[in-house]
């Protein structure tokens, strides 16, 4: 793994970050003492699970009206 001093890192930060993003991490050192390691972030690539219960549950036709009287009473709505 490449080690660069802090001055070089400031001077060439854009290039170094692009290299790290491509999988070439580097270490930033100050006066020969290693301080930090820069590596690419690994994105979570789990698939989106939309519709994973399709066909396993049934939503009643009156779902949007279920409990309507109780809800109206809680909020003081009169009809």
- In this prediction the pTM is 0.55
Residue 79 reports pLDDT greater than 80 = no
The CATH code of domain 2-38 reads 3.40.1620.10
Q: Please report the beta strands in 25-66, taking only residues with DSSP state E, as ranges in sequence order.
A: 26-30, 33-38
CA 69, 72, 76, 78 torsion-angle sign: negative
Residue 71 reports pLDDT greater than 80 = yes
Cα angle vertex 17, ends 13, 22, to 5°? 150
The fraction of the chain above a pLDDT of 90, given in percent, is 65
Ordered by start, the domain boundaries in the chain are 2-38
- CB of 37 within 8 A of CB of 25? yes
- Reduced to 3 states, what is the DSSP secondary structure of residue 10? helix
Residue 49 reports pLDDT greater than 90 = no
> Which residue did the predictor score with more confidence, 13 or 55?
13
């Amino acid at each position: 793994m490449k080690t660069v001093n802090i001055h070089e890192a400031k001077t060439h930060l854009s290039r170094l970050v692009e290299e790290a993003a491509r999988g070439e991490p580097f270490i930033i050192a100050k006066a020969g003492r290693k301080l930090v390691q820069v590596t690419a972030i690994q994105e979570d690539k789990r698939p989106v699970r939309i519709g994973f219960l399709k066909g396993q549950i049934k939503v009643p036709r009156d779902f949007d009206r279920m409990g309507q009287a109780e809800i109206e009473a809680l909020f003081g709505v009169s009809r």
